[in-house]
Amino acid sequence: KQEVTQIPAALSVPEGENLVLNCSFTDSAIYNLQWFRQDPGKGLTSLLLIQSSQREQTSGRLNASLDKSSGRSTLYIAASQPGDSATYLCAVGDQGAQKLVFGQGTRLTINP
Amino acid sequence: GAVVSQHPSRVICKSGTSVKIECRSLDFQATTMFWYRQFPKQSLMLMATSNEGSKATYEQGVEKDKFLINHASLTLSTLTVTSAHPEDSSFYICSARGSWRDTQYFGPGTRLTVL
């Protein structure tokens, strides 16, 4: 059974810093991996989608990497801003039904 | 594109009543829809997967008679929480995926509070 773990559970940094969020998964036979953002009481916003054959994806100040063999992904946020404050969720898509298994999330606070 | 809506966004009901939540794909045909629940400060847990015109597939531990799912059209799925109890209070989120898309698109969620 796939298990997804995110470290740290919470992170608080000053504005302008670069930061890395970590995601690990137990079964490397994945279809894809996604990073989402969730604001309090809201739904999910997809940030980046990495296919199993890819190593990384970039969108603006965000860069996500995937190392399937080691079961790890990282989300790099450059030049963080207070508006980046949210919970970031990592989700792994299985090869069959493409179900998503979510990690517990990292609660990120960017201090002005 | 790829917008998913949910209605209602928030509902409060008395214990023992049933509540229906709608999930709609507004600009694409969703061959598959997913229902998740999220408890406070916890992650999303998949409850069930439904394909249009077929019975939903429920995850282990989810009571199919309590959480009725209908996916009658390519743009609408409903989740009915029957005989709701306070422990059913949660944030319910749906997602939808088209046959040609590689990702799920999520709705804004429905906050259910059972008194």
Q: pLDDT (tens digit, 9 = 90+) per residue, B10-57?
A: 999 999 999 999 999 998 888 899 999 998 888 899 999 998 888 899
Looking at CA atoms only, how far is residue B107 from chain A in angstroms? 6
pLDDT at B1 over 80: no
Name the interface residues of B facing A (CB cutoff 8 Å): 6, 34, 42-46, 49, 91, 93, 95, 97, 102-109, 111
Nearest to A14 by CA among A105, A88, A81, A87: A81
Say if strands A106-111 and A10-14 run parallel, antiparallel, or are unpaired. parallel
A36 vs B contacts (CB less than 8 Å): 106
Q: What pLDDT sits at residue B55?
A: 87
Q: What pLDDT sits at residue B31?
A: 87
Note whether A102 contacts B105, CB cutoff 8 Å.
no
The residue in chain B having the minimum alpha-carbon distance to the alpha carbon of residue A49 is B103
Opening angle at CA B91, ends B90 and B95, nearest 5:
140
What SS3 state is found at A54? coil
The count of residues in chain A is: 112
pLDDT at B102 over 80: no
Looking at CA atoms only, how far is residue A14 from chain B in angstroms? 23
Average pLDDT in the A21-40 region? 94
